Structure 1
Amino acid sequence: MAKVIKLDLEEVVISNGEAGIVRIPYEELDFKPELHDEVELYQDGDNLIVTKCKKNSDSIEDKIHINIVNENSQQQSNNNYVQAGKVVNKTVYIILAVFLGGLGAHKFYAGKTGSGIMYLIFCWTWIPSVLAIISAISAAFKKSDGNGNIIV
């Protein structure tokens, strides 16, 4: 396997690992060479035949797709509206808000430690319980992603 290493004004410079360097005029090629093209060289008597290797469309580079999602904080865009916050499981969040919301369990689960501590301090007033029920209802109406997660 040889490779195009240089494009001069009148000729193409091709490097063949074992044979060294070959210079071929553009007129003798049946394709438009580009830098780093892989080509095959064939000797036909005094003539040198150069063919461009077809790129395999099933190569591994064509099949690799990487998506990175930060589980701790994520943003969703919906018609120029950007929502930022913590990603939590919708079902777990609602259950914690309904049954242990007065103690701030759903806030601790969402990573909002300061709010969770405030819920604990004021749990005797029943105000955090009312707020937790409101949070549970609000979370119930949020659309979840494919994994059942929402952003709070």
Structure 2
Amino acid sequence: MTPLKEGDKAPYFEGINQDGKKITLDDFKGKKLILYFYPKDNTSGCTAEACSLNDSYSSLTEKGFEVVGVSPDSANSHLKFIAKYNLAFNLIADTEKKILEAYGVWAEKKLYGRTYMGVVRTTFIINANGIIERIITKVNTKDHAKQILEEFKI
């Protein structure tokens, strides 16, 4: 579980997107950012979540949101994932897990009695001043965009 709370300053991040371009928190100053963390490209839940955000991308951007996804997958994996589903937003390759750790979403998980380290699916809504406005830990992968819009009553 993330140690961050709503009202905290968002940890600075920088990473490489699917095209090898550097993306940083500073790129979103003055904008609202949906920073979502997910376990793996091309898995059912992660694909549903990305497609939900993509299907509502124009609605989200009309409301002033930018969308960025982060996972430990490689930039090449992200490039293929974006091409396959025609995603309109950036995905950051956090292969060294620095951003995942900074946001407290790289954590111990349990599945079928097995313990392992993995990404805890979490979305952070960061306001124009770099403050975490919302943290969504119970992500509805199929309707994530609707879930975000309802959080903000918009």
TM-score (norm 2): 0.24
- Structure of higher RCO (CA pairs closer than 8 Å, 6+ residues apart): 2
Rg (Cα) greater in structure: 1
